[in-house]
Each structure stands twice: as C-alpha cells, then as structure tokens.
C-alpha cells in the first residue's frame, strides 16, 4: 500500500515561503520511500515545474474560512485519498481545528511557532527552534502520553543542496556578508542593513543581498544597490543556487526563520534581526546556544546598532569560529528524514 500524506500549507508575502519549502522537501523524501503527497492551500501562482513531480495534486484555497471549515476541508481530502496522514504547516491550527482532526482519527504532524500557547493534541508537535523544550509545553499538551514533541534544530527541514553541503574553514576573514530575510516582505530589514553596512566594513567587504521575487520592497532595494559604488554590494533575486551563494559568504545578517538553519549548516556566524514577534524565541535560542548576536525586531534596530554588532564580529575571529562550529553541530541536515519517518512510524526501519 502506498502511503499518502496531505499537506496543509499557509503561504503569503506576510508569512513568507518557508512553509512551502518544508512541504516540498518532506514530499520529496516521502516520494523516495514510495509515497505520495497532496498539497492543500498555496496559490497556483507559486506552483513550479518541480511541484508537478512532487505532488500528486495541488489544491488552491483562495479563502480559508473558519477553523471548522478548513479542518473539515482537510479531513474530507484525507478521506478522499484514503489516508490518515496529514502535515499541518499552517500556524492557524487552533484547538477547535485540532479537535476536528483528532475526532476524525487522523495522525498528523503539526509545525508551530510558539507564538500562541494554546492546547495541543497532534501526534507529533514540531518546532525546530533551538529555544523550545518539551517541559515548557507539558501544561499545553492535552494528552502528553500521546503527543510526541520534536523540538530543536535536528528537526529542521532543509533543501537537499544544504543537507549535503561542505562547510568552508571556520574563522576565515570576512569578505562577503550575506543580507537576506526570506522570500516575502523583508519589512525594511534590507534597507537598514544597506544603511548600516554598505561601504563601512572595509574596502574588501561586499554585501551579498538576496530578496525573494515576492518581496514588495524588491524594486526599492534594487535601486538602493544600484546607487552604491561598485563593489560594495551585489543583488540577487531568487538565486538558482542559494546554497552555493550562502556557502561562499563569511557572515550572515538574517531573520529568525528557515534561513537560520541553512546559515548554521553552512558554518556562517550570524547577526539576527527578527522580522516578527514569533522570531524572537528562535533568535534568542540561537544566541544562547551558539553565541549568535540577536539585536531585536526590525524597526527597533538602528543602523548604528547593526553596524556596531557586525563590525565587532568581523574583528573577532575566535567568536566567529566558535559560532560556526556550534551551528554546524546543531544542524545535521537529517531533519526531513526524521519528520517523515516519525509521521509514518518507520523510524525502526532506518539504520
């Protein structure tokens, strides 16, 4: 019997595209096991050529409706495909939603971001943030014996190019500084970084600025980069080899989302500016475990504060070396396998 998994995914300029990336990679691994994936939620405009191979069906949901309506939609789709397996990569799965899934007998994995400490009752509760601990969530687990918590960077879902990447030497001189804040709205973070860092870290340092095509500030960023003297910055939109681009950088200025795991496995020392309140806990977790610098939320961090933090790290070879080594230790690139096999209860089959 072929295992099928229904993925409920939330994507928008506001929340970014990290949810869709995770679903794609889990679907890719599921396919390697002989299973099939169905995607529910994202607009057809985000569907790529690879998605035709990864998903047996792609069902757009223009209007989510209430939690009860959306949960019923997911349950019906599972029944149509004869599967109990679901992945909720949508942080709106509130207690009412979860109760409907539980009553329907689904076995589901729920990604969450810790911004809402409500009652949880999935089979698998997942948060790759380095901040979260199971003991913190025991009061919010409806049935602790039933819900398994998969917390920490070892459960980070990475694209294949990152999972097998070979990191460069730690403590190398800083010549290329990555500035990137995901595929959605950067909320002014890139503009802050340009004001703080362009031409101010030495003549040999280049800012490697990356934006998603869906970033509403993309054209303004492009204009700001074009106005800089040659060599101070380069601008990339949806680069085809993001892993190679990141690996060739020496330090990263990023938000607290999916890119933090990619930077860690590449061995990049990190300075964080959170894009939203739900990124504060992950950023603080990285700071506690690796020594990464967390400056606060975008809009509260001044260019002078950002410059001071990055310039100090550029000069501190020992701090960068330790940060890079610890980041690579925490992120081993096996998170996708761990999640899919836990959902399908196949872990015992893997050596």
Residue 3: both structure tokens together: 């295992």
Question: Does 145 lie in the same domain as 22?
Answer: yes
Residue of 14 and 25 predicted with greater confidence: 25
* Percent of the chain surpassing pLDDT 90: 88
User: The domain spanning residue 46 has which CATH number?
Assistant: 3.40.50.11190
List pLDDT tens digits, range 222-235: 999 999 999 999 99
Residue 128 and residue 243 in one domain? no
What's the CA gap between 111 and 74, in Å, rounded? 16
Whether residues 151 and 169 share a domain: the answer is: no
Among 174, 240, 173, which Cα is nearest to 206's? Answer: 174
Shared-domain flag, residues 153 and 217: no
Same domain, 165 and 200: yes
Asked if 49 and 107 sit in the same domain, the reply is yes
Query: Looking at the structure, do residues 204 and 313 belong to the same domain, yes or no?
Result: yes
Classify 202 in phi/psi space as left (phi over 0), alpha (psi -120 to 50) or beta. left
Q: Taking 90 as the threshold, does the pLDDT of residue 184 lie above it?
A: no
Do 139 and 176 share a domain, yes or no? no
Q: Are the beta carbons of 148 and 221 closer than 8 angstroms? A: no
Helix (H) or strand (E) holding 251: strand 251-254
Print the domain residue range for 325: 161-330
Say yes or no: 44 and 154 in one domain. Answer: yes
CATH no. for residue 311?
3.40.50.2000
Over the stretch 263-316, which tens digit does the pLDDT of each residue have? 999 999 999 999 988 899 999 999 999 999 999 999 999 999 999 999 999 999
Say yes or no: 250 and 135 in one domain. no
Answer yes or no: do 337 and 317 share one domain: no
| Per-residue pLDDT reduced to its tens digit, 43-86 | 999 999 999 999 999 999 999 999 999 999 999 999 999 999 99
The domain tally of the chain equals 2
Neighbouring CB atoms inside 10 A of 192's CB total 22
Instruction: Please give the average per-residue pLDDT across 315-338, as a whole number.
Output: 95
Q: Taking the model in full, what pTM does it have?
A: 0.85
- 320 and 337 co-located in one domain: no
């Amino acid at each position: 019997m072929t295992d099928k998994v229904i993925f409920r995914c939330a994507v928008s300029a506001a929340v970014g595209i990290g949810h869709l990336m995770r679903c794609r990679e889990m679907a890719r691994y599921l396919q390697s096991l002989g299973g099939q994936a169905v995607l529910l939620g994202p607009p057809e405009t985000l569907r790529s050529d690879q998605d035709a191979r990864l998903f047996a069906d792609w069902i757009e949901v223009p209007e989510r409706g209430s939690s009860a309506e959306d949960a019923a939609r997911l349950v019906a789709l599972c029944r149509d495909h004869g599967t109990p397996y679901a992945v909720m990569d949508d942080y709106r799965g509130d207690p009412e939603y979860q109760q409907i899934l539980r009553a329907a007998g689904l076995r589901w994995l729920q990604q969450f971001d810790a911004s809402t400490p409500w009652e949880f009752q999935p089979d698998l509760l997942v948060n790759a943030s380095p901040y979260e601990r199971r003991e913190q969530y025991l009061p919010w687990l409806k049935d602790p014996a039933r819900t398994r918590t998969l917390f920490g960077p070892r459960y980070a879902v990475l694209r294949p190019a990152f999972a097998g990447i070979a990191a460069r030497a730690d403590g190398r001189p800083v010549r290329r500084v990555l500035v990137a804040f995901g595929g959605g709205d950067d909320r002014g973070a890139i503009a802050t970084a340009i004001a703080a860092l362009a031409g101010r870290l030495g003549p040999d340092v280049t800012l490697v600025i990356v934006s998603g095509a869906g970033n509403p500030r993309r054209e303004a960023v492009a204009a700001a980069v074009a106005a800089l003297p040659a060599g101070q910055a380069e601008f990339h939109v949806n680069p085809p080899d993001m892993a190679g681009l990141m690996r060739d950088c020496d330090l990263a200025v990023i938000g607290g989302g999916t890119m933090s795991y990619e930077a860690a496995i590449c061995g990049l020392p990190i300075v964080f500016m959170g894009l939203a309140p739900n990124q504060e806990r992950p950023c603080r977790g990285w700071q506690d475990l690796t020594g990464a610098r967390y400056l606060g939320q975008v809009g509260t961090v001044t260019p002078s504060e950002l410059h001071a933090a990055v310039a100090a790290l550029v000069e501190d070879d020992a701090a960068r070396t330790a940060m890079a080594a610890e980041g690579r230790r925490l992120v081993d690139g096996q998170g996708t396998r761990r999640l899919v096999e836990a959902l399908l209860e196949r872990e015992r089959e893997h050596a």
